Structure 1
Amino acid sequence: MEALLTSTAVVALAEIGDKTMLLAMLLAAKYRQPVPIAFGILLATLANHFLAALIGAQAAAWFDGDLFRYLVAAGFVVMGLWTLIPDKFEEDDKPRSRGGAFLTTLVAFFLVEIGDKTQVATIALGARFSDAVMVTIGTTIGMMLANAPVLWLGDRLANRLPLAKIRIAAAALFVIVGLWLAAETAGLLG
């Protein structure tokens, strides 16, 4: 249950203001079909994050030991610092498709999520919890919690959210998880 809740919270916060959220806004404005876009986000996230969580869990199995746990902890701290840097959606990132709202969203989200903060966080969460299924469910819930409101509320929501404060909260959560893991590995907790 810890893997599910932590993964949900980390990704929901990290996703706010992320380029995939900006992509969701763009797709919502372009297609005005929130349901197929939501299903595209859901399936793309499940596929992308399951692979990421699996990579993290497998890495943890291969490299089990204190050094690897410290590296994962440092990864969370680095993710926290990276979260403080606002994302922007580049002109080249705009989806180009003839497949309609669902297919465009599915492909665009899967591709844009590669190397994104939330995917890297999913790898680290997979390594931390060694449970690809629960991490994937949690990170997918987090993605949907952050992106679904954008599909229906769009710019009105984006203009009212305190993105800088949310980004700071997300960064703090990453750093806290990293420091907690480092303290746990060092035997300072427990």
Structure 2
Amino acid sequence: MEALFSSFTAVAIAEIGDKTQLLSLFLAARFRAKGAIIAGILVATLLNHAASAWLGVWVAQFIPQGWHSALLGGSFIAVALWLLIPDKDDSEDTGVLRYGAFAASCILFFLAEIGDKTQIATVLLAASFPDAVWWVIWGTTLGMLAANVPVVYAGSWLLQRIPLNVARYCACGVFMLIGVLIIFSGSGF
């Protein structure tokens, strides 16, 4: 359950102000079928994060045993610093939109997640919890939904009231804390 909670919390916080949240806002403005948008986000996230989690478990087996904590903690600190860089909405009005809310959401969300902070976090979380990879996948997926479903339903209203810089700094702090805790837990302190 620690893997589920850690994954949910890390991704839900990291997703605030992320480009996929901006994509959710764009899709909600473009399509009326909110349920289809959310279903597309769910399918895309499950597929993307499952692949990412399995990659994390696979990569973790090649890291020398004494280095796990230092590399993992350092990676979380790197992601923390990356969170301070604001994302831009790079979604364009592509031909994908003609296939409807579900297909467009699924395809655009899957593509937007490639190389994204939350995908990297999923790889790192799976490497941290290799025996609980399914809990990581569900946690990160639920974290994405927790951050994006409100945007789909009340995006414009929410984005006018949530200061994204404050959210980015909080997310940075959480990832920094996780990184430091991982480093110290593995060094015998």
State the TM-score, normalized to the length of structure 1: 0.95
Unaligned runs of 5+ in 1: none
Asked if residue 96 in structure 1 is aligned to residue 95 in structure 2, the reply is yes
CA–CA separation in structure 2 for the residues paired with 1:90 and 1:141:
24
CA distance in 2, matches of 1:95, 1:12: 27
Q: Report the counterpart of residue 117 of structure 1 in structure 2.
A: 117
Q: Is the 8 A contact 2:69 2:185 kept in 1?
A: no
1:56 maps to amino acid: G
Aligned-pair identity in percent equals: 43
Deviating runs (4+, > 3 A) in structure 1?
Answer: 93-96
Distance apart, 1:90 and its partner CA: 2.3
How far is 1:100 from its partner? 0.3
Instruction: Report matched runs for 1:15-164 at 5 Å.
Output: 15-90=15-90, 93-97=92-96, 98-130=98-130, 131-164=132-165
What is the aligned residue count? Answer: 187
Deviation sequence 1:64-100 (CA, Å, 0-9, x none): 5121331111000000000011111125x44431210
Q: Provide the rounded CA distance (Å) in 2 between the counterparts of 1:171 and 1:102.
A: 32
TM-score by length of 2: 0.95
SS of the residue aligned with 1:35? helix
Distance in 1, matches of 2:27 and 2:145, equals 15
Letter matched to residue 152 of structure 1 = Y
**Structure 1 residues 94 and 81: alpha-carbon distance in aligned structure 2, compared to 1, 3 A threshold:** farther
Kindly indicate whether the alpha-carbon contact (under 8 Å) linking 2:69 and 2:187 is maintained by their aligned counterparts in 1: no
CA distance in 1, matches of 2:93, 2:73: 34
What RMSD in Å do the two structures reach over aligned CA positions? 1.2
Name whichever of 177-186 and 158-167 sits farther off. Answer: 158-167
Counterpart Cα distance in 2 of 1:94 and 1:129: 38
Indicate if the aligned counterparts of 1:12 and 1:142 stay in contact, CA closer than 8 A.
Answer: yes
